[in-house]
Amino acid sequence: MSILIGADTRVIVQGITGRDGSFHALSMREYGTRVVGGVTPGKGGQDVQGIPVFESVKEAVAETGAEASVIFVPARSATAALREAAEAGLPLVVCITEGIPVLEMLANYHYVRERGVRLIGPNCPGLITPGQAKAGIMPGPIHMPGGVGVISRSGTLTYEVVYNLTRGGLGQSTCVGIGGDPVVGTGYLELLEMFERDPGTRAVVLIGEIGGEEEELAAGYIRSSMSKPVVAFISGRTAPPGKRMGHAGAIISGGKGTAEAKVRAFQQAGVQVADRPDQIPALIRRRLGEP
Amino acid sequence: MKLYEHQARDLLSAAGIPVPPGKVAQSPEEALGAARELGLPVMLKAQVLVGGRGKAGGVKQARTLEEVRARAREILSLRIKEVPVRRLLVVKAADIRREYYLGLTVDRTARKAVAIVSASGGVDIEELAVREPQAILTAHIDPRGPDQAELGRLLARVFPPAQAPAALRTLSALYELFRAKDASLVEINPYAELSDGSLLAVDAKVILDDNGLARHPELEAYRNAEEYSAEETAARAAGLSFVSLEGDIGCIVNGAGLAMATMDQIKLFGGAPANFLDVGGSSSPEKVLTALNILRGNPRLKAILINIFGGITRCDDIARGILIARRQADLRLPLVIRLIGTNQKEGAALLAGEGLTALEDMSEAVRKVLEESRA
């Protein structure tokens, strides 16, 4: 079992003829994902190594029955791509694109929500259900099917954690990168709820970072509503205030969003916080009562 | 991108919000000229981006021209939180009767812009939020556009009836500025009521969304080069994300989260990171070369850690960059390399061909770089 995507999910790639779009469409297909098509306006009728390219998302959905889209277009065209996907009625949209202005994303967020679309990202690595499907850019081979759900604001740090889980014999149900921007389509809370309900998930790793208050809210939710064990990791403990640490969302401002506050919130909620990524597997095993 | 007060007030003024008459001065003589033009008394305000300038003595009143010269000299010789004061804003002193607060920012959790209003202006709003949260009133802005009636009701809870209409005009103009310039924060503090009952934006703060700057080339002129270290400026030109820190272990990492986690682990193991550096996703050999060249300029550096988890980034590209850097200039600092993920074997083989070892484990790499830095 898993959340959001599985072996049967039919996926299209918006921006499939671009450098990143074509590379990752093929990599996703190679992993076993059902990549049924792609969209690049002006290039409909072509194909990318056998993957048909359509003029519009609407056409792609009509022709292929696609249920999810992964967006690889540049920031300046991301809003148009997101809205096109939402209008075409795709239930799941994953936006990899980095650099969308926050106020544009505020409007996009409400636009896609009103149309009942589940948006993951932007500025995220996507998601993967190991052994079944990936809708994103993560390296497939580090993953292993299993019972640990992973939620993260980061890309490569997620790979680091997944690598340690796999090395420690703990497979993953689904790994979701929610994105490093201040405003993202889906936050920790909704994913924690999904993992709580998913019979294939036994425990959850939550990877947070400085900035915002989402980790604190997640801690409150875990305390009140989660029966499954959660282990957390927070990056940015050494980050100076007022400086943006790469991710647009990773900034400590006005004394808010510090790593200390987040660690404290998790500890108060009974969530163990790892000091380093390679401690996470042992903490999970302990919480699961396994040797 | 954070703007200086004088830049922020220019934007406010252009948006139709009343600000006190003022001029920027870079020397006591220029401050004198400004004071003569504006008329005494004046306020002299240090232009720095760090907070707490008032407590540090960076804001002073001057009633005579002698005082202007003396105070200007004092403030221009200050260092506020390590930052030297290079410019003053000279403004005509206002006869303030009451201080309010008006601001707009993004509520990340609600995913809406939020208007913030308080009758207790003139103090640090974050401190006020902790000490006296009930003194701060907020209202979310509808993503389709602000509801004037709702903002009016919000302001009526804070401003007397005589001032409320002017406050609404200012808040509406402030929102328009916030939206049009892709700001992440605009703030008027204090928003002052003068003895004649008029309202004036006595201090202003604007933070722009870096992701929005591409749409506003006119705002690039506001970028304050002196606020960034030479390394930070070089890194930005090369498209690298970089922040200078105090320590002696240089870091080159792909991905912001992993870069922060690498710094944290250096600290956890008893060391101190010299920088945050994210070489980004599809890292070319040139980016690694540039990153190494930027780090090398730091005289404090004792060792460099390269921590790469290949995804889009290919380990062989990183290895090529390292080898080119080694050939182009002699890299005398100890270099510890951790490579894992996409094309890891190819990368490790390239390095091995020139006698370099690539580690696989992050903790091992951090321990090693600390050892090397102390050797």
Residues of chain A in contact with residue B215, where contact means CB-CB under 8 angstroms, are 101
A204, pLDDT greater than 90: yes
Residue A258's pLDDT is what?
92
Query: Could you give the CA distance from residue A198 to residue B267 in angstroms, rounded to a whole number?
Result: 37
- The angle formed by the CA atoms of residues A18, A22 and A25, to the nearest 5 degrees, is 140
Q: Is residue B71 predicted with pLDDT exceeding 80?
A: yes
Q: Which residue of A has its CA nearest to B178?
A: A103
For residue A278, the chain B residues in CB contact (below 8 A) are: 361-363
Express as a percent the part of chain A with pLDDT over 70: 98
| Percent of all residues in chain A with a pLDDT value above 90, rounded to a whole number | 91
Q: Does domain B96-222 have CATH number 3.30.470.20?
A: yes
Task: Provide the token pair at B270.
Answer: 């008893």
DSSP code per residue over A226-258:
--S-EEEEEE-TTPPTT---SSTT---BTTBS-
Worst-scoring range by mean pLDDT, A17-26, B78-87, B158-167, B222-231?
A: B222-231
Rounded to whole angstroms, the Cα distance separating B357 from B359 reads: 6
Residues of A in contact with B224 (CB under 8 A): none
pLDDT tens track for A40-86: 999 999 999 999 999 999 999 999 999 999 999 999 999 999 999 99
Class of domain A138-288: alpha beta
B359: which chain A residues are within 8 Å (Cβ-Cβ)? none
Return the number of other C-beta atoms located less than 10 Å from residue A89's C-beta. 13
At A79 the pLDDT is 97
Radius of gyration of chain B (CA): 25
What are the CA-CA distances from residue A85 to residues A58, A75, A139, A269, B112 (Å)? 8, 15, 25, 38, 22
Q: How far is B34 from chain A (nearest CA, A)?
A: 32
pLDDT tops 70 at residue B76: yes
Let me know: does A133 contact A107? Beta carbons within 8 Å. no
- Determine, for residues A242 and B2 on separate chains, whether the beta-carbon distance falls below 8 Å: yes
Tell me which of B61 and B128 has the higher pLDDT: B61
Q: Domain locations in chain A?
A: 10-120, 138-288
**Is A221 within 8 Å of A189 (Cβ atoms)?**
yes
The mean pLDDT value of chain B amounts to: 92
Can you tell me the distance from the alpha carbon of A146 to that of A288, in angstroms, rounded to the nearest whole number?
14
pLDDT of B282 strictly over 70: no
Residue numbers of A annotated as active site: 247
* pLDDT tens sequence across B300-342: 999 999 999 998 788 998 999 899 888 887 778 999 999 999 8
Residue B280's pLDDT is 81
**Cβ A142–B254 below 8 Å, yes or no?**
no
Residue B50: what are its φ and ψ, rounded to 5°?
Answer: -80, 155
CATH says A10-120 is which class? alpha beta
User: B243, A240: Cβ pair inside 8 Å?
Assistant: yes
Report how far residue B335's alpha carbon sits from residue B273's, in angstroms, rounded to the nearest whole number: 14
Report the gap between the CA of A44 and the closest CA in chain B (Å): 26
Mean pLDDT, residues A219-223? 96
Distance CA A39, CA B214 (A): 25
> Which residues of chain B are within 8 Å of residue A156 when distances are taken between CB atoms?
253-255, 257-258, 309, 311, 313
Least confident of A154-158, A245-249, B235-239: A245-249
- State in words which class domain B21-92 has: alpha beta
On the question of pLDDT at B2 being above 80, the answer is yes
Amino acid at B253: V
Chain A residue whose CA is closest to B51: A254
Instruction: State how far residue B362 is from chain A, nearest Cα, in angstroms.
Output: 8
Residues A100-133: pLDDT tens digits? 999 999 999 999 999 999 999 999 999 999 999 9
Compare CB distances from B260 to A137, A236, A275 and report the shortest one's residue.
Answer: A236
CB contact under 8 A, B282 and A20: yes
Q: Name the more confident of B234 and B186.
A: B186
Distance in Å, alpha carbon of B13 to nearest chain A alpha carbon? 22
Say what the pLDDT of residue B234 is.
Answer: 84
Distance of CA A107 to the CA centre of its chain: 20
Given a cut of 70, whether residue B283 has pLDDT beyond it is: no
Domain B228-374: give its CATH code. Answer: 3.40.50.261
pLDDT of residue A271: 96
Contact flag B363-A278 (C-beta cutoff 8 Å): yes
- Domain residue ranges in chain B: 21-92, 96-222, 228-374
Contact A239 B276 (CB under 8 A): yes
Check B108 against A249: CB less than 8 A apart.
yes
Q: Place A253 in a pLDDT band, splitting at 50, 70 and 90.
A: low
Same fold, A10-120 and A138-288: yes
> Three-class SS of residue A157?
helix
CA distance B341 to chain A (A): 7
Please pick, among B4, B101, B191, B222, the residue that the annotation labels catalytic.
Answer: B101
pLDDT, mean of residues A15-24: 93
Q: Residue A181 to residues A237, B108, B177: CA-CA distances in angstroms?
A: 18, 9, 22
Average pLDDT for residues B114-137, to the nearest whole number? 88
Prediction ipTM score? 0.92
Per residue in A124-182, pLDDT tens?
Answer: 999 999 999 999 999 999 999 999 999 999 999 999 999 999 999 999 999 999 999 99
Task: Supply the pLDDT for residue B188.
Answer: 97
- For residue B222, indicate whether it is catalytic: no
pLDDT at A255: 64
Contact criterion met (CB < 8 Å) for B211 and A100: yes
